[in-house]
């Protein structure tokens, strides 16, 4: 007789929604107390966790598949910044009573698609009820060759400060969602608005660049709380300062248009967060090789400044005038 589950609501939910997407052998079909991975030889494990909460990190009405993807991708972005390759993920989800199967189905479908796309199998997790909003915490495991994780602390004075992709889109997308009538956004066409919106909804983890970062970067950090604040963290960890120019900060066309209409939005771009791009430092002698590797990986990169002795982050705005910011990044507390 095949006795499988005792049929509690939680068991049914796991069986119906999560078991079908947890196909990796290490997940043991979600039929055991824990998953089991063979420890990779000659590698270090890289571990990270990130939680997203409805009403804080996403809008309660956002499509459930996008929410699931965002929850996974913010973790994959951390792995990429450390030069790591994903091994798997654990999902803890707190659901308000009465969360429908439709929502969960969509959530699981989005998660399953991304787990496959980024080769980061779902290995297990926990499912609980909450009297609060939906809360999702993902723990991701990755690996790097022994001793090769890229730290925040390795930058050297003179290293180029570089960043992937474009900065500020997500922060502007969030602002536009909250205040669509703001003049800077009214001038954008539908396509431009959709671009900003999507960049908030769905980060693009730069896993394709992980090996190039491992190869060429002296330090790296995932840009999640705001470019300037995250650069300040990297600089402090490295015992250095940094100087960047606003002209060097890569902007998408829609972001550039918004700043043209309202120059003050540059501050939002520099400090807004939710970029999930990677900020890294590269010695001048390695820069060309890094740029070639990034081009081969299909990831745009730009140089925006340099590491220097001292502390803090100097920002040079239009005409080389220093820019002072009231706050460097987003903080929950
Ligand atoms: P336990 O009571 O031992 O914590 P559970 O009944 O919570 O076990 O979980 C049973 C199995 O289902 C475990 O393998 C666990 O990792 C998995 N699991 C539970 N919730 C989730 C989830 N949200 N996503 C993925 N796997 C889950
Ligand atoms: Mg449990």
pLDDT (0 to 100) of residue 332:
64
pLDDT (0 to 100) of residue 6:
53
Ligand number nearest to the C-alpha of 90: 1
Q: How confident is the model at residue 158 (pLDDT cuts 50, 70, 90)?
A: very high
Token pair listed for 319: 């005409």
CB 89 within 8 A of CB 74: no
Q: What protein residues have CB closer than 5 angstroms to ion ligand 2?
A: 126
pLDDT (0 to 100) of residue 82:
98
Token pair listed for 59: 């809008």
Secondary structure letter of residue 14 according to DSSP:
I
Residue nearest atom 26 in ligand 1 by C-alpha distance: 124
Q: How confident is the model at residue 7 (pLDDT cuts 50, 70, 90)?
A: low
pLDDT in tens, 244-282: 999 999 999 999 999 999 999 999 999 999 999 999 999
Average confidence (pLDDT) over 78-102: 97
CB 163 within 8 A of CB 302: yes
pLDDT in tens, 171-227: 999 999 999 999 999 989 999 999 999 999 999 999 999 999 999 999 999 999 999
Q: How far is CA 46 from CA 76, 135, 140, 183, 204, in A?
A: 11, 23, 8, 44, 20
Q: How confident is the model at residue 8 (pLDDT cuts 50, 70, 90)?
A: confident
Q: What is the pTM of this model?
A: 0.94
Token pair listed for 253: 């066309």
Secondary structure letter of residue 21 according to DSSP:
G
pLDDT (0 to 100) of residue 154:
97
Ligand number nearest to the C-alpha of 32: 1
The DSSP result for 295-318, as a single string, is: HHHT--EEEEEEEESSSSEEEE-G
126 C-alpha to center of ligand 2: Å? 5
């Amino acid at each position: 007789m095949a006795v499988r589950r005792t049929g509690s609501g939680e068991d049914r939910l796991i069986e119906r929604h999560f078991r079908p997407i947890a196909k990796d052998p290490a997940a043991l079909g979600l039929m055991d107390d824990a998953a089991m991975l063979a420890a990779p030889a000659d590698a270090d494990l890289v571990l990270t966790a990130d939680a997203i909460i409805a009403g804080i990190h996403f809008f309660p009405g956002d499509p459930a598949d996008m929410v699931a993807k965002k929850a996974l991708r913010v973790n994959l972005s951390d792995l990429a910044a450390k030069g790591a390759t994903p091994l798997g993920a654990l999902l803890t989800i707190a659901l308000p009573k009465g969360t429908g199967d439709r929502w969960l189905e969509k959530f699981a479908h989005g998660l399953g698609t991304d787990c496959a796309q980024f080769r980061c199998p779902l290995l297990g997790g926990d499912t609980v009820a909450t009297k609060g909003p939906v809360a999702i915490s993902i723990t991701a495991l990755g690996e790097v060759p022994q001793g090769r994780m890229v730290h925040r602390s390795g930058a050297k004075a003179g290293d180029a400060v570089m960043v992937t992709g474009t900065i500020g889109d997500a922060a502007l997308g969030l602002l536009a969602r909250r205040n669509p009538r703001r003049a800077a956004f009214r001038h954008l066409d539908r396509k431009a608005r959709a671009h900003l919106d999507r960049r908030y909804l769905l980060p693009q983890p730069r896993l394709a660049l992980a090996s190039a970062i491992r190869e060429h970067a002296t330090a790296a950090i995932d840009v999640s709380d705001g470019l300037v604040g995250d650069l300040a963290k990297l600089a402090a960890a490295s015992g250095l300062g940094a100087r960047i120019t606003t002209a060097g900060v890569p902007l998408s066309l829609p972001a550039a248009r918004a700043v043209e209409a309202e120059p003050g939005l540059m501050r939002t771009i520099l400090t807004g967060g939710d970029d999930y791009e990677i900020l890294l430092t590269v010695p001048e002698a390695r820069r060309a090789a890094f740029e070639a590797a990034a081009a081969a990986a299909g990831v745009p990169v730009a140089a925006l400044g340099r590491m220097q002795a001292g502390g803090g982050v100097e920002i040079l705005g239009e005409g080389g005038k220093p820019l002072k910011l009231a706050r460097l990044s987003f903080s929950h507390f």
